[in-house]
Structure 1
Amino acid sequence: MYAVIISEPKSRTEFSIREDAASFTARAIFSCKLTGLPLDVLTDGFLTHGNEKTSHQLMSCLASFRRLSSEPSMALRRCIPDYEMICNNSKHVVIKTIRMRMSSMERLLVNFPRLKVIHLMRDPRGTVRSQKRYGGFTHSSNDTESVENFCRTVLRDVLDREDLQRRFPNRIMSVFYEDIAKHPITSSKELYSFLGMNYTSESEKEILHMTSSGIAEKNCGALCTNRSNSSQEAYEWRHEISIGFVKKVDKVCVDLYNKVGYNTIPNKTVLQDLQYQLRNNN
């Protein structure tokens, strides 16, 4: 079973540059043909986050051989074959990506008949707030265009996803970040079922640890995989973003709101009132 999780883009300027590289990388991983990937892909810092043991083993192996030789190909020759063997023997291969758009999923769905796609969405105000914090957007007079382009791209993904769902029934699922954060167990069971994966007591224990253990990772910023309270953190932005910027997002993202069901926020009181639902049927 293959699965790709499509999340929201980081910035509009990356799409034309990164899309082809992202598709190539996804095909290589799904095929377990990793020797053709650049070393940077296989040693990216993202692989050190989370609890995926195989990735940690690969990183450790590559680091060991790179200390012995300055020639990157040596590390690849010694470490990648074992990683490919593990990949080929795995029941499931999963990728989470923010670099690929729904428009690029058709070819993968055709080439990999067992592939399933999860479209992960988040309230654009929360996403933009996160991107502002980490440099994706600037809080200035000229950021309206960036926000507008972002929401237009997310809307395009939604429309493309609906088209693909009609053409590839039972192979694409859409989920909302806030729903997963609020109901991690129920949401996880639905995701496991969709992917044909066994949901075990160990799975539930790990999910509870990641979402509601009361213990958060330290010094990992936005890359943390464990959250002390996922539901609380999903709406943390409502206490940190200005109502002026929220209104700007509400105005330029109206088409996305109408399609997905997001509600506008009229004032600061409503912004910080967590009883106010930000999306219809939330």
Structure 2
Amino acid sequence: MAACVQKVIENCKSKKYRILKTVRLRVHAIEKLLTDDPSLRIIHMIRDPRGIAASRVQWDEFYQAKMTFTFGRVCADMLRDIESVEKLPPEVAKRVLPVLYEEVVENPESMIEYLYKFVQMPYTDYIGKHVKNLTHAAKDNTERFSTQRANPAKTAYSWRSKIRWILSTEIDAICERVYKKVGYLRAKSLKILRDYNISLRDRNMNGSYLEKFRQLPIPG
């Protein structure tokens, strides 16, 4: 096993670009890495906590019982990440790009190209075709970890028809400070929650965390 791991490490080190996706690695834990390595860039992906909650309940029937406690911790971590970036020196913070998951699924092709530009990687025709194939499939792949979708935006917002009203309001209260930082909005009624035509995002967040730490304009 050690020999195999060493080969993977050596192969990784030989590449020009190295990409790592993490879920529970907190920003404050990598501040030193950002400071020490001027080539390191971070895409800080944020998702509506209500969407996260609905997704977890879907795959874990026991998760519902501990939801309020868990989301106190989840939103505390989200807020701490945001505040950690806000405290970084400007020359370091410019290598962190905050992006909403919802922005990506609503406009996947231009947003993925935007992310490639931020990390200074070439966005080729092959990559563009691959992104299009993943986001314009004939039908959804319903396997748990599949990324192939016929309509990624519809899939991303499907939580609005599934989440219980009481749970939605609880998360609204718990995550209020995160909402204010990135522009998520409370659903003021069950009718609004279920109406996909009513956005639950403030798309004009002047002076927000998102606007403050974006060096490049988001594509329209």
TM-score between both structures, scaled by the size of structure 2 = 0.84
What whole-Å deviation, never above 9, does each CA across 1:110-137 have from its counterpart, x for those lacking one?
3322100110000010011112223397
- Aligned counterpart, 1:161: 85
Kept in 2: contact 1:137–1:146 (CA 8 A):
no
The answer to whether structure 1 residue 207 and structure 2 residue 126 are counterparts is no
Partners of 1:264 and 1:278 within 8 A in 2? yes
Q: Is the 8 A contact 2:35 2:92 kept in 1?
A: no
TM-score by length of 1: 0.67
Counterpart check, 1:177 vs 2:101: yes
How is 1:179-258 mapped onto 2 (pairs within 5 angstroms)? 179-218=103-142, 220-221=143-144, 223-258=145-180
Structure index of larger Rg:
1
Compared with structure 1, are the counterparts of its residues 122 and 170 closer, same or farther at alpha carbon in structure 2 (3 Å cutoff)?
same
1:186 positional shift: 1.2
Count of paired positions:
204
Deviation at 1:150, TM superposition (A): 1.5
Whichever residue aligns with residue 84 of structure 2, its letter is: D
Q: Describe the SS at the equivalent of 1:208.
A: helix
Q: Which segments of 5 or more consecutive residues in structure 1 lack a partner in the other structure?
A: 1-72
Do the aligned partners of 2:86 and 2:93 also contact (CA within 8 Å) in 1?
Answer: no
CA distance in 2, matches of 1:255, 1:136: 28
Q: How does 1:34-49 map to 2 (within 5 A)?
A: none
2:70 aligned with 1:152:
no
Q: Which residue of 2 aligns with 1:119?
A: 44
> Contact (CA 8 Å) 1:211, 1:228: kept in 2 or not?
yes
**What is the aligned counterpart of 1:134 among 30, 38, 59?**
59
CA distance in 2, matches of 1:186, 1:249: 31
Q: Distance in 2 between matches of 1:136 and 1:97?
A: 24
CA contact (8 A) 1:137 1:143 kept: no
Measure, in 2, the Cα distance between the counterparts of 1:149 and 1:268: 25
Secondary structure in 1 matching 2:41 = strand
Q: CA deviation at 1:217?
A: 3.2
Identity %: 30
Q: Distance in 2 between matches of 1:264 and 1:152?
A: 18
Distance in 2, matches of 1:247 and 1:137, equals: 20
CA-CA distance at 1:167 after TM superposition: 4.7
* Aligned-CA RMSD value: 2.0
Find 2:8's aligned residue among 83, 90, 93: 83
Compared CA separation, residues 177 and 101, structure 1 to 2 (3 A):
same
